Structure 1
Amino acid sequence: MQTFDSSKHLIGLDISQYQGTVNFKKIKENGASWVICRTYGTDHRGNGDTRFEQNVKNARAAGLKVGTYYFATPKVPLDLQDARNQAQQFIDKIIFGTGNGNDFGDLIPMLDIEDDTGHVGEGQSIRLLKVSELIQWILEFRRYFEDATQTRLGIYCSSFFWNEQMRNGLPTANPIKDMPLWIAEYTKYWPDGKKSPNNFGGWTSWHIWQHREDGDGRYWGCESEKVDLNYSLSLEAICEKN
C-alpha cells in the first residue's frame, strides 16, 4: 500500500447513531473535510441508523462532504436475491437521507464487509459462507447497486478479515479488487517502523484508510467518547463515483 504522509492526506470521520448528537461544525473547524454516515448496521429489520438522515443534513450544512456505508449481513446459505434486496435497502435509505433520487452522496458509497459473528442471528454469520460464495454475493450487490444508481460502489474491509478469518484470503485474481478500498487497519497495533497498511487480496492501494477506532469523540464534536478516524488521499479520489 502507499506510504503514509499526514501532510498530504485529508481527515474524515465515519459516523453512526452511536456517536449520539454530533456537532458537525466542530468537526469541520477541527480540520476534517468529510464524513461517512452509516445507513444500516447489523439489524436490517427496521429503518436503519436512527440518526442517518439528520447526520447527512447537518454535515452538509457544516460544509462537509458526505459519504454513506452499509453493513452487509448476507444470508446463509448463499442467496443472491438477498444481495439485491440489501442493495435496494441501501439505495432507499440514501435517497431518504438526501431527499433526492439522483443524489447518492458526495463520496463513493461503501459496502461494509467484516466479521459479523456475535451481531447477527444463528446461521447468518458471514463466516459461514465460502469465500467464493461471499464474492458472488458482493458482486451481485455491486451489480444491482451500480446498475440502479449509475454510481460506483466501494468496499470497506480489513486485511485481518481477508487474510485470517476468510481462510487465508483471496488469490491475486480477486474479482472485486477493482472496487475502491476503504481499509481498516489501526496503527496502535503496528510494530515500530511500519509506514503503511498491508497489501492484501490483490489490492495495492486504498481510497480511504480507517487508522483509528478510538479517536477522541468529544474533541471531534461527538457525544460519544470515541469515534473512528480516517485519511483519504484527496477529495477527488473519494468523489470519483462513476
Structure 2
Amino acid sequence: MAKVSCVDISEFQQGINFNKMKSDGIKAVIIRAGYGRESSQKDSMFESHYKNAKSENMMIGVYWYSYADSVGDAEKEAKACLECINNKSLDMPIYYDLEDNSQTKLGKAKLTEIAERFCETIKKSNY
C-alpha cells in the first residue's frame, strides 16, 4: 500500500493554498463536514475546501466532530453529516471524530455503541 501524506482541515484553517500544499507533498485532505446533530452545524468552509481540493485533484475524505452521548444522537449526527456532504464523491472514508471532553465519562462500551451506530447509518447510504 502506498503512503499518502494527508492533513485534516476545517473552518479553523482559511486561506489555504491547495496548490502549494500539493506541491509540498500533501496528496490528501480530510475535511470537517460539520459537528453535532443538526445539518445547520455544517462547517462553514466545507464547500470551499472541497471545491479547492477537487480542483487540485487531491484525495478527499471527510470527518464529523461528535458531541453524541447516546446511540440516538450518533444516528442524528450521521444523518446530519450525510445531508451536509450531499452525495459528494469521496476517495477516502467518512471519519467519526469522538474526542470531546463531554464524552470521556461515557466509557469504552458506550462510546463503542455510539461509534457503531454512526458507522452503520453511514454505511446504509453507500459510503
- TM-score, length-scaled by structure 2: 0.88
1:106 to 75, 81, 91: 91
* Distance verdict in 2 for CA 1:43–1:138, change over 3 Å: closer
Contact map agreement 1:94 1:105 (CA 8 A) in 2: no
Aligned match of 1:24: 18
Distance 2:85 2:108 in 1: 28
Q: Is residue 150 from structure 1 mapped to residue 119 from structure 2 by the alignment? A: no
Matches within 5 A, 1:8-157: 9-41=3-35, 46-75=40-69, 79-95=70-86, 101=87, 103-114=88-99, 116-117=100-101, 125-147=102-124, 149-151=125-127
How many residues matched? 126
- Whose radius of gyration is greater, 1 or 2? 1
* Distance verdict in 2 for CA 1:54–1:68, change over 3 Å: same
Q: Unmatched 5+ residue regions in structure 2?
A: none
Could you tell me which amino acid in structure 1 is paired with residue 93 of structure 2? I
Distance 1:53 1:14 in 2: 15
Question: Matched residues, percent identical?
Answer: 25
Q: Unmatched 5+ residue regions in structure 1?
A: 1-7, 96-100, 118-124, 152-242
- TM-score, length-scaled by structure 1: 0.48
TM-superposed deviation, 1:10: 2.1
Aligned match of 1:216: none
